[in-house]
């Protein structure tokens, strides 16, 4: 049995865990749920030896786990799949997996790749082209590689932190089946998730954390999504209306015949779409089909081989704000403070500038106001972004984009890792932005989110884009289109 007793952990003045208890049994899937900043990842990091608690202890089968030793926990049989993938950016995916259990002792990358392909086939995962580096891969592909690497150790305990948030509908069923198979083998599976429907469908037991304390332990047959949500956040967020989604006649952004090739592979193939003022348009697709490159081109971080992008709105580059999917690597600089990260936005930096010099006090005051406005849980503007939970980092990205006063927002997997309240707040913010005349291109692999939020809906597959008909806007048909049934 995996057990944690009276775990207490502080980060500065923030009490992240308050005498938290947790246990999970062999042959069990145990879901750990809670809002952003509730302490879920911190608790698992204590068990995995990544951080030292101020109090309490963790054990596996009655043997105390080494405190603050990730290697010791791994040797004891505990493997973790991180919400933010921990991979070497400049190394190939084969080299990254060679640091896992696929390695035979000879650093034979051909053997590593062959073993990885066998496991990937069991999961229904597609692997990247041979030799491609991690910095060329999408967030979803990175998460899949993390899952493969963790499973390669044949762990007794597998801790999964939001593993399904970037998986496509076609991959989800095989992945949940894998979890059930690992459970049948007698392994302990800890599933951290905000997707309560998944927790109830696959878990044997559910533990709810709130503000660092365990507030409920239950079983799926004894509870519901609504009851779990109330335990997590108290009052349930109000459902969003679908007003102001269709937009008007004014075109805010036009993309025409955008094409891109890499290493002889076509990434984007004559992509064409337009975005109207006042609308939220969606782009659905399995990650790795060109979405990331499209976002990079719109952010002017990558140059297309051909094609044209026209912003009708005034304001130049500042008229378009991009919220990238990889908040830790691309969206934020984790070693910088919160106010410094906000100042990376030129409009915000100009707002805090006095006589050609950045007014530090004014920038901090501006940041404090945005922390309050967007409900970002932080002791103050002068802590580092690394000290925030994943969900609060995401809120910080959204706050920076909205406060920059753009005309167009391109948001890529914007709610990945957000809890119910956080997701509802982001959706409300985007709806208000569109209602005020702004335009949003919402790129996501979450069909429920797209169907709820978007008026028009596009699908991308193998770098090609097409608009869907109203009759096609259901999960089954969209899943087939995302899988490339039309390309």
**pLDDT digit string (tens) for 329-381?**
889 999 999 999 999 999 999 999 988 899 999 999 999 999 998 888 888 99
Say whether both 228 and 261 belong to one domain: no
Q: What are phi and psi of 330, to 5 degrees?
A: -115, -40
In a domain, 21, yes or no: yes
pLDDT-based confidence at 165, cuts 50/70/90?
confident
Say whether both 337 and 188 belong to one domain: no
What total number of domains does the chain contain?
A: 2
Domain boundary among 171, 201, 233: 233
In a domain, 240, yes or no: no
Domain boundary among 182, 206, 233: 233
Handedness of CA 214, 216, 218, 221 (dihedral sign): negative
Say whether both 331 and 473 belong to one domain: yes
Which residues have CB under 8 Å from 324's CB, separation 6+? Answer: 295, 299, 330, 331, 397, 412
The rounded Cα 96 to chain-centroid distance in angstroms is 21
Structural domain that includes position 197 = 2-233
pLDDT at 243: 46
Packing angle of the helix pair 225-233, 420-435 (nearest 10 deg): 90
Say whether both 264 and 226 belong to one domain: no
pLDDT at 104: 65
Please tell me the distance from the alpha carbon of residue 159 to that of residue 24, in angstroms, as a whole number.
Answer: 11
pLDDT at 244: 42
What does the CA dihedral 414, 417, 423, 429 come to, rounded to 10 degrees?
Answer: -40
Average pLDDT, the chain: 88
The rounded Cα 200 to chain-centroid distance in angstroms is 21
**pLDDT digit string (tens) for 454-472?**
999 999 998 999 999 999 9
pLDDT at 246: 60
Say whether both 191 and 97 belong to one domain: yes
The strand pair at 353-354 and 357-358 is best described as antiparallel
In a domain, 173, yes or no: yes
Average of per-residue pLDDT across 188-212: 92
In a domain, 408, yes or no: yes
Whether this model's pTM surpasses 0.75:
no
Tokens of 387: 């000290």
pLDDT at 141: 81
Average of per-residue pLDDT across 175-197: 88
Q: Average the pLDDT over each of 102-116, 119-133, 183-197, 240-254 and give the range with the smallest value.
A: 240-254
The 3 state secondary structure assigned to the chain is CEEEEEEEEEECCEEEEEEEEEEECCCEEEEEECCCCCCHHHHHHHHCCCCCCCEEEEEECCEECCCCCHHHHHHCCEEEECCCCCCCCCCEHHHHHCCCCCCCCCCCHHHHHHHHHHHHHHHCCCCCCCCCEHHHCCHHHHHHHHHHHHHHCCCCEEEEECCCCCCCHHHHHHHHHHHHHHHHCCCEEEEECCCHHHHHHHCCEEEEEECCEEEEEECHHHCCHHHHHHHHHCCCCCCCCCCCCECCCCEEEEEEEEEEEECCEEEEEEEEEEEECCEEEEEECCCCCCHHHHHHHHCCCCCCCEEEEEECCCCHHHHEEEECCCHHHHHCCCCCEHHHHHCCCHHHHHHCEECCEECHHHHHHHHHHHHHHCCCCCCCCCCEHHHCCHHHHHHHHHHHHHHCCCCEEEEECCCCCCCHHHHHHHHHHHHHHHHCCCEEEEEECCHHHHHHHCCCEEEEECCEEEECCHHHCCHHHHHHHHCCCCC
Please tell me the distance from the alpha carbon of residue 161 to that of residue 83, in angstroms, as a whole number.
Answer: 5
Residue with tokens 């990376």: 344
CATH number reported for the structural domain that contains residue 336 in this entry: 3.40.50.300
Tokens of 351: 């707002």
pLDDT at 466: 93
In a domain, 293, yes or no: yes
More confident residue, 188 or 426: 188
N-terminal to C-terminal alpha carbon distance within the chain: 49
Say whether both 227 and 346 belong to one domain: no
Domain boundary among 180, 204, 233: 233
Please tell me the distance from the alpha carbon of residue 148 to that of residue 142, in angstroms, as a whole number.
Answer: 10
Say whether both 257 and 210 belong to one domain: no
**pLDDT digit string (tens) for 292-341?**
899 999 999 999 999 999 987 555 556 899 999 888 888 999 999 999 99
Of 207, 173, 212, 200, which is closest to residue 13 (Cα–Cα)?
212
In a domain, 208, yes or no: yes
Cross-strand partners of 8: 55
Please tell me the distance from the alpha carbon of residue 243 to that of residue 29, in angstroms, as a whole number.
Answer: 40
Contact 408, 320 (CB under 8 A): yes
pLDDT at 198: 86
Which residues have CB under 8 Å from 51's CB, separation 6+? Answer: 9, 42, 45, 68
pLDDT-based confidence at 235, cuts 50/70/90?
low
In a domain, 487, yes or no: no
**pLDDT digit string (tens) for 61-119?**
999 998 989 999 999 999 998 877 788 989 999 999 998 888 666 778 888 999 899 88
Which residues have CB under 8 Å from 108's CB, separation 6+? Answer: none
In a domain, 324, yes or no: yes
Contact 409, 323 (CB under 8 A): yes
Say whether both 265 and 227 belong to one domain: no
Say whether both 151 and 288 belong to one domain: no
pLDDT surpassing 80 at residue 123: no
Average of per-residue pLDDT across 157-185: 82
Say whether both 433 and 362 belong to one domain: yes
Say whether both 9 and 136 belong to one domain: yes
Say whether both 375 and 467 belong to one domain: yes
The strand pair at 265-276 and 408-412 is best described as unpaired
């Amino acid at each position: 049995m995996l057990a944690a007793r009276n775990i207490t952990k502080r980060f500065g003045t923030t009490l992240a865990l308050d005498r938290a208890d947790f246990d999970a049994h062999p042959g069990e899937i145990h879901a750990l749920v809670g809002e952003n900043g509730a302490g879920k990842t911190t608790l698992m990091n204590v068990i995995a030896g990544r951080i030292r608690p101020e109090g309490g202890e963790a054990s596996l089968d009655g043997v105390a786990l080494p405190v603050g030793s990730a290697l010791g926990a791994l040797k004891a049989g505990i493997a973790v799949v991180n919400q933010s993938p921990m991979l070497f950016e400049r190394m190939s995916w084969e080299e990254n997996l060679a640091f896992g259990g696929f390695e035979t002792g000879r650093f034979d990358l051909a053997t590593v790749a062959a073993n990885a392909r066998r496991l990937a086939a069991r999961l229904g995962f597609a692997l990247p082209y041979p030799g491609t580096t991690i910095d060329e891969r999408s967030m979803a592909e990175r998460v899949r590689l993390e899952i493969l690497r963790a499973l390669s150790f044949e762990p007794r305990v597998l801790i999964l932190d939001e593993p399904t948030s970037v998986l496509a509908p076609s991959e989800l069923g095989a992945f949940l089946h894998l979890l059930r198979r690992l459970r049948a083998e007698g392994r302990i599976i800890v599933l951290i998730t905000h997707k309560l429907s998944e927790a109830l469908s696959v878990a044997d037991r559910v533990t709810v954390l709130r503000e660092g304390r365990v507030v409920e332990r239950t079983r799926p047959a004894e509870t519901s999504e609504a009851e779990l949500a109330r335990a997590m956040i108290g009052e349930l967020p109000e459902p969003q209306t679908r007003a102001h989604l269709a937009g008007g006649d004014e075109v805010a952004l036009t993309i025409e015949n955008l094409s891109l090739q890499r290493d002889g592979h076509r990434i984007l193939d004559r992509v064409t779409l337009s975005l109207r003022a006042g609308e939220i348009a969606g782009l659905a697709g399995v990650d790795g089909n060109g979405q990331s490159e499209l976002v990079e081109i719109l952010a002017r971080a990558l140059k297309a081989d051909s094609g044209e992008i026209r912003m009708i709105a005034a304001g130049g580059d500042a008229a378009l704000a991009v919220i990238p999917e990889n908040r830790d690597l691309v969206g934020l600089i984790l070693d910088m403070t919160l106010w410094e990260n906000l100042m990376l936005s030129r409009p915000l930096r100009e707002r805090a500038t006095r006589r050609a010099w950045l007014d530090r006090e004014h920038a901090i005051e501006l940041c404090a106001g945005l922390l309050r406005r967007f409900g970002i849980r932080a002791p103050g503007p002068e802590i580092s972004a690394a000290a925030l939970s994943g969900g609060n980092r995401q809120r910080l990205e959204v706050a920076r984009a909205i406060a920059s006063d753009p005309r167009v927002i391109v948001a890529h997997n914007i709610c990945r890792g957000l809890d119910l309240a956080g997701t509802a707040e982001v959706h409300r913010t985007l709806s208000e932005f569109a209602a005020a005349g702004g335009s949003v291109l919402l790129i996501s692999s979450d069909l429920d989110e797209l169907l709820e939020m978007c008026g028009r809906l596009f699908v991308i597959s193998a770098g090609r884009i097409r608009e869907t008909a109203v009759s096609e806007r259901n999960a089954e048909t969209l899943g087939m289109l995302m899988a490339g049934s039309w390309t």
